[in-house]
């Protein structure tokens, strides 16, 4: 009787362990709304919002101030004043308002980015799931990758026909503006993150065609992670034909392959 009881306990613990492992592996990925706290401070000068930015999101705040806006060091005694004054520009105030209106709800983005990273986690078991957050920049960068995080600059995804994007002084082409839409946020997040994990080789010169193949492989994986063809070009097609001929090749092997001639 004791033996049977022991076996049952072991089985129960095993099941619980499996459940814990499953929950760990399927950790949900969602966008942290750093932009809301940022917006609150920049539009109302709410000191508690600034404190929350510095306390709850120190790395995001440092990245925004030092790497995105480049207005100084985060430990500068005057940086809070510089930060607030920088965003008093009427154009940036308009960007803040528009971004917060368009992205009041990000459920669709959260669903897509979660599904994409669950796919990647299965295909790339050693990959760390990054923390993803939203922020409002100054029309300089779209996606920031580093320190295990992905920062989404909402100001670069306000729509192809957004009035500010059409102004001649910004110089955005139609092709550029077509990529500055909500539906490209998740593909860009996945693409830039994969590129940070599988960068182009720096130890040897490569041709433009090889660069295009490298990006084609990244974009092919992005398409697979999203379950739709977001990126369509001849190099993605070359990768697709290659993978059709090599059905046993894993995504990890594809991204790590160094022989570009196989795809040309």
Running along the chain, 264 residues long, what does each successive block of 10 average in pLDDT? 43 44 63 97 95 96 96 95 94 95 98 97 95 96 95 98 95 96 98 97 89 97 97 96 95 93 88
**Could you give phi then psi for residue 196, rounded to 5 degrees?**
-70, -30
58 token code pair:
């120190």
Range of the domain at 223: 198-263
- 256 inside domain: yes
Structural domain includes residue 193: no
Query: What confidence score (pLDDT) does residue 202 get?
Result: 82
Residues 125 and 246 in one domain: no
Residue 50 lies in a domain: yes
Regarding whether 168 and 41 lie in a shared domain, the answer is yes
Q: Which of 181, 206, 236 is the last residue of a domain?
A: 181
Whole-prediction pTM: 0.88
173 and 222 housed in the same domain: no
Q: Are residues 162 and 90 in the same domain?
A: yes
Number of independent structural domains in the chain: 2
Please indicate, yes or no, whether residues 135 and 215 belong to a single structural domain of this protein: no
Residue recorded with tokens 């295990």? 148
**Residue 8: predicted pLDDT:** 38
22 located within any domain: no
pLDDT, residue 203, reads 80
**Sheet with 143-146, side-by-side order of all strands:** 31-32, 131-135, 149-153, 143-146
Same-domain pairing of 107 and 221? no
* pLDDT on residue 226: 97
Residue 177 lies in a domain: yes
The answer to whether residue 210 sits within a structural domain is yes
26 domain residue, yes or no: no
At residue 22, the pLDDT reads 40
In a domain, 7, yes or no: no
The Cα–Cα gap between 192 and 97 comes to 27
CA distance 98 to 172: 18
Both 204 and 142 in a single domain?
no
């Amino acid at each position: 009787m004791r033996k049977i009881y022991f076996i049952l306990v072991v089985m129960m613990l095993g099941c619980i362990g499996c459940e814990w492992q499953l929950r760990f592996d399927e950790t949900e990925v969602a966008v942290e709304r750093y932009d809301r706290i940022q917006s609150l401070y920049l539009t109302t000068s709410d000191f508690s919002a600034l404190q929350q930015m510095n306390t709850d999101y120190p790395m995001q705040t440092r990245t925004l101030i030092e790497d995105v806006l480049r207005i100084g060091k985060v430990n500068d005694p005057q940086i809070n004043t510089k930060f607030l004054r920088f965003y008093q520009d009427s154009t940036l105030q308009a960007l803040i308002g528009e971004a917060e209106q368009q992205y009041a709800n990000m459920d669709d983005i959260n669903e897509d980015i979660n599904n994409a990273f669950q796919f990647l986690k299965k295909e790339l078991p050693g990959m760390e799931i990054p923390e993803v957050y939203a922020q409002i920049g100054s029309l300089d960068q779209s996606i920031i990758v580093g320190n295990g995080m992905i920062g989404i600059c909402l100001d670069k995804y306000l729509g192809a026909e957004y009035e500010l994007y059409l102004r001649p002084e910004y110089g955005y082409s139609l092709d550029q503006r077509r990529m500055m839409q909500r539906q490209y946020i998740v593909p860009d997040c996945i693409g830039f993150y994969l590129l940070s994990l599988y960068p182009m080789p720096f130890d040897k010169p490569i041709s433009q065609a090889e660069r295009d193949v490298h990006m084609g492989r990244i974009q092919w994986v992005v398409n697979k992670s999203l379950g739709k063809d977001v990126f369509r070009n001849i190099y993605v097609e070359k990768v697709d034909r290659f993978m059709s001929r090599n059905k046993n090749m894993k995504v990890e092997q594809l991204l790590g392959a160094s022989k570009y001639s196989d795809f040309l």
